[in-house]
Chain A
């Protein structure tokens, strides 16, 4: 066994103030460079303006000069240390120094959240953060003076040494105000241009009342719902130690005492006659009760597209209306001789209430323009008029309508066709073909063909433009777009014929 190292003299570091982070850092760095163990160092706070470093020990002749071979620590440690230095626990300086020493050999130490030193560091940082938050919440300014002499002064008792650290928040928030926050150990003062940190004060130095407090108390007692009394929940967030400086807190005991009776009164108060003005309001604003159209004959008597569209707004023929925003009805001139039928509205169409306004609609527009088909001359609609989707987080994933939904919605497609009497219908995709022909059609096989319905309507079959958007390979996508363009040119020929 080697000889025990000679015990070093205990070193005491005296810091300039409770939150003297720079003093701590300078001393800690020098000590760490000399590998002085943490249990050899004591930390004290002097009231003096300057720190006399290495008090009680030989001056650190062999310590590295500032900016010399200083070692680096993670940024996260500096940030945590700046907060923890504000903690009221006298042990904080030595904890920070111990972690600093350990960081030289364990650079990842702070990432090991289960380490007891790291836990302690985080608990202290958290306590400081909480106190800072509570100060932001529970400082209550009282106004003194008026006009040019107007000032706002607050008295606050913090648990930790947070005034300096928290003052910039109040500057950011109350820039246009002159204010002072007094606490037992320090004060902060903002004159509209400059922040000054000064000595502590007593409660008597702060004003004792403010004319807004009566209103504030009125608000506090009126916003409380006695039927929901939850005293523990209140105290968890607003501990009693803060109460004595909160003007509203004196009301709390009475509010709690009276809550039960008030809640019972509310529950037991029997319904009374309607208020006297109610009949007048009703007559003026709600003269006729809404008559809901019957579920089966809605739109049956419509002779124009706008009438039909209005009837379809309340459509309940299948359950898809429940989740969708609105019915997305067809659009286009009533003299249109060509009808384009898509599958169903998507996310964008559902929001806008118009068909083909989303990405697939833009694709269709572009290809129609290139094929020289005038979109303003055609009527565009969908086989199913409500958006069907699965919610996933903040998005809606398109879901394919089933045969029953397509069948239910054919009521509207048939009515549209009956009013428009087109000579040509273009089925965009399988669902559209199913809607127009009443049966499933192999769209890839029959694409480009014209099928004539029993009523004489010619139906041109092609893909849905969203199919092109889903092709990942650019070359394939371009090729598919070319085929779709050819289809639209064929449509133009048919329109002319």
Chain B
């Protein structure tokens, strides 16, 4: 087979990765190259070095090692039956590209995924080798995320965890039935067991050892997963239920929702439409409510008989409008858990309200200075000198607080 020039390979193998939603480079342990004299650092949060016109950040060199694949997942551009052009990087090429881009400050690190060729172990073995060379031979201290192939050996996973900041295993679709239908060769049972093993390994390695009291390094950024939204008819309620199960079962740092995007040379089994970006956005908002605001998966959608998130307003506002008996809340007395349920008050604002009210009683304008928009908050709170009166129960409340319909930003 004739080998392609590097630039063409890069075009094919980054195009092949562009349907993948996850991009974060956060959650790594603090690390820099002062001692090693190498290249790279990770600090508290990742840095987005650029943004594509799709609004998504570019923080990592996100590529596939190869887009040859023995699987035939209907929704995937790289499936075995697809007529897409194929390419394959060598280990050296990926290492060099990563270092060259990193040294020019284009990226935070590498996000490496791959189609499966020959066998899962062969493919995973090459991915691990790339990470090893970067870390050991080039003293690279930047971020490395490897997309694990569920069927590969446990030994390779353990090696991957030594070099990578984060490992991920895709659950592909929100339900087992969906996987069976659209990714017939993938086995949900294997995917689940792989995630369980990874969690056990991360748990085990994060225990201080008896001898040294220091922790062994193993995927310090934890594990994440991704599922495709809108390729089948699964409702949001089921998606959130799956997420909440995944967070609890495998201690995932993130569940990524990737709106199904039409792919060239698509299969007839899939919807031909623009990706449901607003739905994806609402799912991320609901996900935040579960992770940072103490909402249970079942209550977010309790007022929505169709099990779908409201596309017109955000899920917290939607919940508050359906649960008005809880409001208005006294901003000077309500506890943290209750304040977190007020539409328009984020975790940071709530923290500052709690801090400030130790020293003075808050008026409506004080709250206004702390949050982005008081208009949304006003009907739901009581403050010094302010009571919403009948506003909270007004029939026109939704129209007053709901934003004008517009395209919202994704991240």
Which residues of the partner chain A approach B185 to less than 8 Å between Cβ atoms? 285-286
Residues 192-211 (chain B) with a chain A CB within 8 angstroms: 192-193, 195-197, 199-200
Is there an interface contact between A220 and B50, defined as CB atoms closer than 8 Å? yes
Is there an interface contact between A222 and B105, defined as CB atoms closer than 8 Å? no
**Cβ contacts A258-297/B at 8 Å (1 or 0 each):** 0100010111110111110110011011100000000000
Which residues of the partner chain A approach B33 to less than 8 Å between Cβ atoms? 172-176
For B119, give the chain A residue with the smallest CB separation: A285
Complex CA–CA separation, A220 to B53 (angstroms): 10
**Contact stretch, chosen from B6-14, B121-129, B339-347:** B6-14
Which residues of the partner chain A approach B234 to less than 8 Å between Cβ atoms? none
Check B89 for interface membership: any CB of A closer than 8 A.
no
| Given known A-B contacts A113-B356, A263-B274, A393 and B51 have beta carbons under 8 A apart | no
Which of A119, A139, A236 contacts B105 (CB under 8 A)?
A: A139
Complex CA–CA separation, A29 to B25 (angstroms): 42
Complex CA–CA separation, A218 to B14 (angstroms): 9
Complex CA–CA separation, A210 to B105 (angstroms): 13
| Given known A-B contacts A223-B17, A224-B18, A234-B55, A269 and B39 have beta carbons under 8 A apart | no
Which of B80, B103, B261 contacts A141 (CB under 8 A)?
A: B103
Check B26 for interface membership: any CB of A closer than 8 A.
no
Is there an interface contact between B196 and A350, defined as CB atoms closer than 8 Å? yes
Check A337 for interface membership: any CB of B closer than 8 A.
no
Complex CA–CA separation, A228 to B18 (angstroms): 11
**Contact stretch, chosen from A320-328, A427-435, A473-481:** A320-328
Check A467 for interface membership: any CB of B closer than 8 A.
no
| Given known A-B contacts A137-B47, A230-B409, A112 and B360 have beta carbons under 8 A apart | yes
Check A369 for interface membership: any CB of B closer than 8 A.
no
Check B49 for interface membership: any CB of A closer than 8 A.
yes
Check B297 for interface membership: any CB of A closer than 8 A.
yes
Which residues of the partner chain A approach B197 to less than 8 Å between Cβ atoms? 351
Which of A232, A265, A323 contacts B409 (CB under 8 A)?
A: A232
Residues 149-208 (chain B) with a chain A CB within 8 angstroms: 176, 185, 189, 192-193, 195-197, 199-200
Is there an interface contact between A177 and B58, defined as CB atoms closer than 8 Å? no
Check B213 for interface membership: any CB of A closer than 8 A.
no
Is there an interface contact between A137 and B54, defined as CB atoms closer than 8 Å? no
Is there an interface contact between B41 and A282, defined as CB atoms closer than 8 Å? no
Check B395 for interface membership: any CB of A closer than 8 A.
no
Q: How far is the CB of A118 from chain B (nearest CB, A)?
A: 9
Check B2 for interface membership: any CB of A closer than 8 A.
no
Which residues of the partner chain B approach A236 to less than 8 Å between Cβ atoms? 409
Is there an interface contact between A223 and B105, defined as CB atoms closer than 8 Å? no
Complex CA–CA separation, A365 to B247 (angstroms): 31
Q: Count the B residues whose beta carbon is within 8 Å of the partner chain — how many?
A: 97
Which residues of the partner chain B approach A216 to less than 8 Å between Cβ atoms? 101, 104, 106
Is there an interface contact between B58 and A278, defined as CB atoms closer than 8 Å? no
Which of A112, A141, A228, A396 contacts B248 (CB under 8 A)?
A: A396
| Given known A-B contacts A113-B355, A173-B33, A259 and B53 have beta carbons under 8 A apart | yes
Residues 15-50 (chain B) with a chain A CB within 8 angstroms: 15, 17-19, 32-34, 36-41, 43, 47-50
For A133, give the chain B residue with the smallest CB separation: B47
| Given known A-B contacts A143-B103, A215-B100, A325 and B193 have beta carbons under 8 A apart | yes
Is there an interface contact between B103 and A224, defined as CB atoms closer than 8 Å? no
Residues 114-153 (chain A) with a chain B CB within 8 angstroms: 114, 116, 119, 133, 136-143, 152
For B348, give the chain A residue with the smallest CB separation: A113
Q: Count the A residues whose beta carbon is within 8 Å of the partner chain — how many?
A: 91
Q: How far is the CB of B149 from chain A (nearest CB, A)?
A: 14
Q: How far is the CB of A324 from chain B (nearest CB, A)?
A: 8
Is there an interface contact between B105 and A154, defined as CB atoms closer than 8 Å? yes
Complex CA–CA separation, A154 to B72 (angstroms): 45
**Contact stretch, chosen from B264-272, B306-314, B322-330:** B264-272
Is there an interface contact between B407 and A230, defined as CB atoms closer than 8 Å? yes
**Contact stretch, chosen from B362-370, B385-393, B396-404:** B362-370
Is there an interface contact between A224 and B196, defined as CB atoms closer than 8 Å? no
For B367, give the chain A residue with the smallest CB separation: A114
Q: How far is the CB of A227 from chain B (nearest CB, A)?
A: 5
| Given known A-B contacts A140-B105, A232-B407, A232-B409, A238 and B6 have beta carbons under 8 A apart | no
Which of A152, A263, A325 contacts B196 (CB under 8 A)?
A: A325
Which residues of the partner chain B approach A281 to less than 8 Å between Cβ atoms? 70, 72, 80
Complex CA–CA separation, A259 to B356 (angstroms): 48
Which residues of the partner chain A approach B193 to less than 8 Å between Cβ atoms? 325-326, 353
**Cβ contacts A155-179/B at 8 Å (1 or 0 each):** 0000000000000010111111100
Which of B58, B106, B275, B411 contacts A227 (CB under 8 A)?
A: B275
Which residues of the partner chain B approach A272 to less than 8 Å between Cβ atoms? 83, 265
Check A225 for interface membership: any CB of B closer than 8 A.
yes
Which residues of the partner chain B approach A286 to less than 8 Å between Cβ atoms? 70, 72, 185
Check B375 for interface membership: any CB of A closer than 8 A.
no
Which residues of the partner chain B approach A143 to less than 8 Å between Cβ atoms? 103-104
Q: How far is the CB of A298 from chain B (nearest CB, A)?
A: 14
Which residues of the partner chain B approach A142 to less than 8 Å between Cβ atoms? 104
Check B133 for interface membership: any CB of A closer than 8 A.
no
Known: A114-B365, A176-B38, A210-B104. 6 other contacts (CB 8 A): A108-B359, A215-B101, A218-B7, A256-B53, A263-B262, A267-B274
Binding site for B on A (CB under 8 A): 108, 111-114, 116, 119, 133, 136-143, 152, 154, 169, 171-177, 210, 212, 214-216, 218-220, 222-234, 236-238, 246, 248, 252, 255-256, 259, 263, 265-269, 271-275, 277-278, 281-282, 284-286, 313-314, 322-323, 325-326, 350-353, 389, 391-396
| Contact sample, A vs B, 17 pairs, CB 8 Å cutoff | A138-B49, A152-B103, A172-B33, A176-B38, A177-B39, A214-B7, A220-B50, A224-B54, A228-B54, A231-B55, A233-B411, A238-B50, A252-B53, A263-B274, A352-B196, A391-B244, A391-B297
6 shortest interchain CB distances as A-B pairs: A233-B55, A230-B55, A391-B248, A114-B366, A274-B81, A172-B32
